[in-house]
């Protein structure tokens, strides 16, 4: 039996056309067939999943008995491995399930295992030294992206129609673009957080999923969303009628083609956006080409790297307290070491200024959306990169290892250089993480070689309904590739 998506699976279970156990067994069989070539799965709980499929009551659950894989970064499930792609946590098992996972289970999902990610999710590719490279299903010489690379590879390869993912700088949207999937980053505060961590990367990092259909995306958002009053970021819930797929009024759509940091954008990525813009214009929406990005991309990324370093330093302080010893370079990858050590030197007043800067970015984008309904841009600057394309030289790695020996200013310059090549590939996604806006990557384009490139649409805070309605429009007119 074949299914269009997770919604179709749940309907079949509810109607008695198939059992949840049969779904789980079929997904395990697909995973065993596909994972040897993808390297997308880090751990499994197949026996427990089969038992749950037999024993749990799925009555009136929107995703009744649907199998799902979690990302091996956060998304902790009690008693299960949770490695974060790091040797430090190679054998760590979660002590409790977080609210994200509990919510998934309450919707009827059955967790089968966890998916591959770069160490602590710092990269836009998935290549952790602990678990290895994740291969793009369309071309095994290329990386599936990051940091939700394993999740994207499984969905793209047809193992499961939906997989848990998270996005702290594009980690849902980047692999969605590379793999030809739908990748929604919800508004900050839309999804449940806690009970251990409530402001991941100061609200820049949020959790959701990668999907293959707009109705799965909408259905999941509608049932997953919360108004969580104990959270530092609180949103009113979207109503069902906000997500009912009603026709769009004519929109003013701002078009951004240039990289916000001045890098090269491939002809293929530009063609993808221009194709999407032409379709939207044909459907009655106004397209306005921007001369420049609404926010200074270099300034924004510099602030992002400072935040990332400080939050990483704080994370390793907690790890040191837990382990009762100091961290060493042997405990982590060199890039992680550089981020961690640079974060130890940032003064509190500088960090406070950075967060205030983010508030100003949010104000700028609020004003921007008084004039434009959505911002349309490439999701990424090119197709999925080749394995090893962003590998650093031994000389530069040595400089990172010795990062404690240079000034704070020199440290931040090294961090910028460390990510420079990979950031040129994916410069469009991070802004929405800083401002907390919803942003979606839609799979609207394939190159002549069959490689996917997505386009990104970003709306004002709380306006996922606009993004989903636009996605529906593309899907109804068979524009998703």
Q: Write the secondary structure of the chain as one string of H (helix), E (strand) and C (coil).
A: CCCCCHHHHHHHHHHCCCCHHHHHHHHHHHHHHHHHHHCCEEEECHHHHHHHHHHCCCCCCCCCCCEEEEECCCCCCCCCECCCCCHHHCCCECCCCCHHHHHHHHCCCEEEEEECCCHHHCCCCCEECCCEECEECCEEEEECCCCCHHHHHHHHCCCCCEEEEEECCCCCHHHHHHHCCEEEECCCCCCCCCCCCCCHHHHCCEEEEEECCHHHHHHHHHHHCCCCCCCCCCCCCCCHHHHCCCCCCCCEEEECCCCCCCCCCCHHHHHHHHHHHHHHHHCCCEEEECCCCCCCHHHHHHHHHHHHHHHHHHHHHHHHHHHCCCCCHHHCCHHHHHHHHHHCCCCHHHHHHHHHHHHHHHHHHHHHHHHCCEEEEECCCCCCCECCCCCCCHHHHHHHHCHHHCCHHHHHHHHHHHHHHHHHHCCCCHHHHHHCCCEEEEEEEECCCCCEEEEEEEECCCCHHHHHHHHHHHHHCCCCC
Give the catalytic positions in this structure: 71, 147, 171
Q: What is the dihedral of CA 380, 382, 384, 389, to 10 degrees?
A: -110
CB 105 within 8 A of CB 16: no
Could you count the other beta carbons within 10 Å of the beta carbon of residue 404?
Answer: 12
CB 286 within 8 A of CB 250: yes
Could you count the other beta carbons within 10 Å of the beta carbon of residue 286?
Answer: 13
What pLDDT shows up at residue 47?
Answer: 98
What pLDDT shows up at residue 1?
Answer: 85
What pLDDT shows up at residue 370?
Answer: 98
Give pLDDT < 50 ranges for the chain: none
CA distances from 149 to 181, 231, 258, 316, 329 (A): 12, 28, 26, 24, 25
Q: What is the pTM of this model?
A: 0.98
What pLDDT shows up at residue 244?
Answer: 79
Alpha carbons within 13 A on the beta-carbon side of 247? 5
Residue whose pair of structure tokens reads 């440290």 in the numeric block: 411
Q: Which of 435, 455, 304 is nearest to 375 (CA)?
A: 455
What pLDDT shows up at residue 425?
Answer: 98
Task: Give per-residue pLDDT as tens, 259-293.
Answer: 999 999 999 999 999 999 999 999 999 999 999 99
What pLDDT shows up at residue 242?
Answer: 87
Q: Which of 382, 365, 376, 336 is nearest to 434 (CA)?
A: 365
Residue whose pair of structure tokens reads 């394939």 in the numeric block: 446
- Tokens found for residue 275: 């194709």
- Radius of gyration in angstroms for the set of CA atoms belonging to the chain, rounded to a whole number: 21
CB 20 within 8 A of CB 64: yes
Q: In whole angstroms, what is the distance from residue 247 CA to residue 294 CA? A: 28
CB 387 within 8 A of CB 422: no
């Amino acid at each position: 039996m074949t299914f269009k998506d997770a919604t179709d699976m749940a309907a079949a279970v509810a109607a008695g056309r198939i059992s949840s156990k049969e779904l789980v067994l079929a997904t395990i069989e697909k995973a065993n067939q596909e994972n040897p070539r993808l390297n997308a799965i880090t751990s499994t709980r197949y026996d427990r999943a089969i038992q749950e499929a037999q024993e749990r009551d799925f009555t009136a659950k929107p995703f009744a008995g649907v199998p799902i894989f979690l990302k091996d970064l956060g998304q902790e499930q009690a008693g299960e491995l949770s490695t974060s792609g790091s040797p430090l946590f190679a054998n760590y098992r979660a002590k409790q399930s977080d609210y994200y996972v509990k919510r998934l289970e309450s919707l009827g999902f059955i967790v089968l295992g966890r998916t591959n990610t770069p160490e602590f999710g710092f990269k836009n590719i998935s290549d952790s030294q602990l678990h290895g490279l994740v291969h793009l299903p369309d071309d095994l010489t290329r990386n599936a992206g990051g940091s939700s690379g394993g999740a994207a590879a499984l969905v793209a390869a047809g193992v499961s129609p939906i997989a848990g993912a998270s996005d702290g700088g594009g980690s849902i949207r980047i692999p969605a673009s590379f793999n030809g999937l739908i990748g929604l980053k919800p508004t900050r505060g839309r999804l449940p957080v806690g009970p251990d961590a409530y402001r991941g990367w100061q609200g820049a990092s949020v959790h959701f999923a990668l999907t293959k259909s707009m109705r799965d995306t909408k259905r999941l958002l509608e049932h997953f969303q919360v108004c969580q009053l104990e959270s530092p970021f609180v949103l009113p819930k979207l109503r069902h009628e906000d997500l009912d797929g009603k026709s769009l009024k004519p929109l003013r759509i701002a078009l951004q083609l240039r990289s916000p940091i001045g890098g090269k954008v491939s002809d293929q990525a530009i063609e993808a956006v221009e194709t999407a813009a032409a379709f939207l214009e044909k459907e009655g929406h106004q397209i306005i080409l921007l001369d420049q990005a609404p926010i200074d991309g270099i300034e924004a990324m510099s602030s992002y790297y400072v935040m990332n370093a400080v939050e990483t330093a704080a994370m390793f302080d907690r790890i040191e307290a837990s382990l009762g010893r100091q961290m060493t370079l042997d405990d982590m990858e060199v890039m992680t070491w550089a981020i961690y050590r640079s974060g130890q030197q940032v003064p509190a007043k500088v960090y406070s200024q950075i967060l205030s800067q983010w508030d100003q970015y949010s104000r700028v984008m609020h004003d921007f959306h008084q004039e434009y309904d959505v911002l349309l841009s490439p999701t990424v600057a090119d197709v999925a990169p080749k394995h090893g394309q962003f590998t650093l030289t031994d000389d530069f790695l040595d400089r990172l290892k010795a990062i404690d020996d240079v000034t704070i200013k020199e440290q931040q310059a090294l961090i910028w250089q460390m990510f420079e090549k990979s950031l040129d590939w994916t410069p469009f996604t991070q802004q929405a993480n800083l401002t907390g806006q919803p942003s979606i990557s839609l799979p609207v384009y394939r190159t002549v070689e069959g490689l996917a490139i997505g386009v990104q649409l970003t709306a004002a805070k709380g306006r996922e309904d606009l993004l989903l309605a636009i996605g529906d429009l593309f899907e109804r007119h068979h524009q998703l590739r």
